[in-house]
């Protein structure tokens, strides 16, 4: 069965216009599986990516989890991967014209997982969090 | 294309064939146990395009032993097996053997062509689709490789990285068996049985 990346919900982000909001998603892969990091060692490999697709905030930067270099039975050289629990952090700017009150920011995480004998199709999962702008 | 859909369920199909023993987290290597002739099911025919746009059908290989490999450029374990298959193609081609690689890359030939060149793949490669994946039980994991006898029946299937020796034993075994005489049901590449029944893996 293909492994599922679990992503914990993020509490509502309370912020104000002109501020910087930092949002961290805590994600986890089941034991025995890995996903390519955001900077895989081979151009053919599909990187872990977070994309923000809609919402009132302006994405400033994304910090991906620190990759581990691990050797697998199918690779001649170590691969840059993430395993187990990890975090992806995004910094947002809150624009001056952001609407007051409640809204949400939406995005997707794309990953491609393997174990040491087989690989699973790339998956794209939605992520979201609620915002309250004063 | 939808690789998730395309890949869904081949492990189940393999389990139904009784040829795979694996756990979700750390599957054991699959063994190339060749099924007894009367336990083999017809391999579904397909019509998939190669890099030149030419349609390739499984039926084109009627009378040959075929190693049908579902793979993708992003699949590390697939990259281990591909040089073996290249070697098999060279070693056994003259005895009535063909490798057919079915790439499940969403990116299509822009991803596949450089990989084929880099790996010096010497066998037919076609671009897979959802329908073919479904016909072969769905595809949950790659590589998934079917070894098909001269009569178009699935003799063995591997899900995940297998042992080279197991593949080779299966190929040698199947090459020693001639195709059934014409008129004897076994290798109908249209996927039906002699009585016209629909094909099934189970």
> Residue A91's closest CA among A19, A14, A21, A38?
A21
Residues of chain B numbered 62-101 and touching chain A (CB < 8 Å)? 72-80
Which residues from B are below 8 Å from A37, CB to CB?
A: none
> Which H or E element spans position A9?
none
Crossing angle between the packed helical segments B76-92 and B109-119, to the nearest 10 degrees: 60
Give the pLDDT score at B30: 55
Average pLDDT along chain A, 134 residues, taken 10 residues at a time: 92 96 98 97 95 96 97 91 98 96 97 96 96 94
What's the number of CA atoms in the CB half-sphere (13 Å) around residue B134?
A: 6
Nearest to B75 by CA among B146, B165, B168, B160: B160
Per-residue model confidence (pLDDT) at position B29: 56
Q: Strand, helix or coil at B101?
A: strand
Q: How many residues comprise chain B?
A: 202
B25 contact A CB<8A: yes
Are the CB atoms for A57 and A68 separated by under 8 Å?
no
Alpha-carbon distance of A130 to A73, in angstroms, equals 42
**Is A112 in the B-facing interface, judged by CB distances under 8 Å?**
yes
- Please tell me whether residue B170 adopts helix, strand or coil conformation: helix
Tell me, what's the pLDDT at A1? 74
% of chain A exceeding 90 in pLDDT: 93
Q: Which residues in chain A are closer than 8 Å to B143, comparing Cβ atoms?
A: 118
As given in the structure block, the two tokens for residue A72 are 């697998």
The distance in angstroms from the start CA to the end CA of chain A is 45
What pLDDT score does B32 carry?
54
Q: Which ipTM score applies to this complex?
A: 0.89
Element holding B81 (H helix, E strand): helix B76-92
Classify the phi-psi angles of A15: left when phi > 0, otherwise alpha if psi is within -120 to 50, otherwise beta. Answer: beta
Q: Measured between beta carbons, which residues in chain A are less than 8 angstroms from residue B104?
A: 121
Q: Between B164-175 and B76-92, two packed helices, what is the crossing angle to 10 degrees?
A: 30
Report how far Cα A64 is from the mean position of its chain's Cα atoms.
Answer: 7
> Residue B194: its pLDDT value, please?
34
What distance in Å separates the CA atoms of residue A68 and residue A78, rounded to the nearest whole number? 9
Identify the burial level of A92 via C-beta atoms within 10 angstroms of its C-beta, where 0-12 means exposed, 13-18 middle and 19 or more buried: buried
Residue ranges of chain B whose pLDDT lies below 50: 1-6, 8-27, 186-202
Return d(Cα A103, Cα A60) in angstroms, integer: 19
Local structure of residue B50 (DSSP, 8 states):
B
The whole-number pLDDT of residue B130 equals 87
Tokens, residue B85 = 């298959």
The pLDDT score that the predictor gives to residue B181 is 75
């Amino acid at each position: 069965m293909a492994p599922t990346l679990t992503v914990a919900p993020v509490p509502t982000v309370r912020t104000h216009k002109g501020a910087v909001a930092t949002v961290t998603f805590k994600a986890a892969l089941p034991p025995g599986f890995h996903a390519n990091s955001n900077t895989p060692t081979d151009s053919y490999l599909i990187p872990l990516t977070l994309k923000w697709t809609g919402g009132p905030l302006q994405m400033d930067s994304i910090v991906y989890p620190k990759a581990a270099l691990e050797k697998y039975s199918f690779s001649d050289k170590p691969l840059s991967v993430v395993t187990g629990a990890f975090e992806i952090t995004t910094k947002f700017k809150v624009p001056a014209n952001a609407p007051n009150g409640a809204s949400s920011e939406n995005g997707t995480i794309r990953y491609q997982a393997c174990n040491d004998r087989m690989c699973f199709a790339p998956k794209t999962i939605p992520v979201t969090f609620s915002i309250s702008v004063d | 294309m939808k690789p998730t859909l395309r890949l869904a369920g081949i492990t189940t199909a393999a389990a139904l064939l009784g040829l795979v023993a694996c756990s979700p987290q750390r599957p054991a290597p699959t063994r190339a146990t060749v099924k007894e002739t009367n336990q083999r099911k017809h391999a579904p025919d397909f019509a998939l395009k190669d890099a030149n746009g030419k349609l390739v059908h499984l039926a084109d290989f009627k009378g040959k032993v075929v190693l049908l490999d579902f793979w993708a450029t992003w699949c590390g374990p697939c990259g281990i097996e591909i040089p073996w298959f290249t070697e098999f193609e060279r070693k056994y081609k003259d005895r009535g053997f063909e490798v057919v690689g079915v790439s499940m890359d969403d990116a299509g030939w822009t991803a596949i062509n450089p990989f084929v060149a880099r790996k010096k793949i010497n066998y037919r490669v076609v671009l897979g689709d959802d329908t073919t994946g479904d016909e072969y039980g769905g595809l949950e994991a790659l590589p998934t490789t079917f070894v098909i006898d001269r009569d178009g029946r699935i003799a063995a299937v591997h899900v995940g990285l297998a042992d080279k020796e197991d593949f080779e034993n299966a190929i040698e075994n199947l090459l020693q068996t001639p195709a059934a005489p014409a008129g004897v049901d076994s290798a109908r590449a249209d996927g039906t049985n002699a009585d016209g029944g629909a094909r099934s893996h189970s």
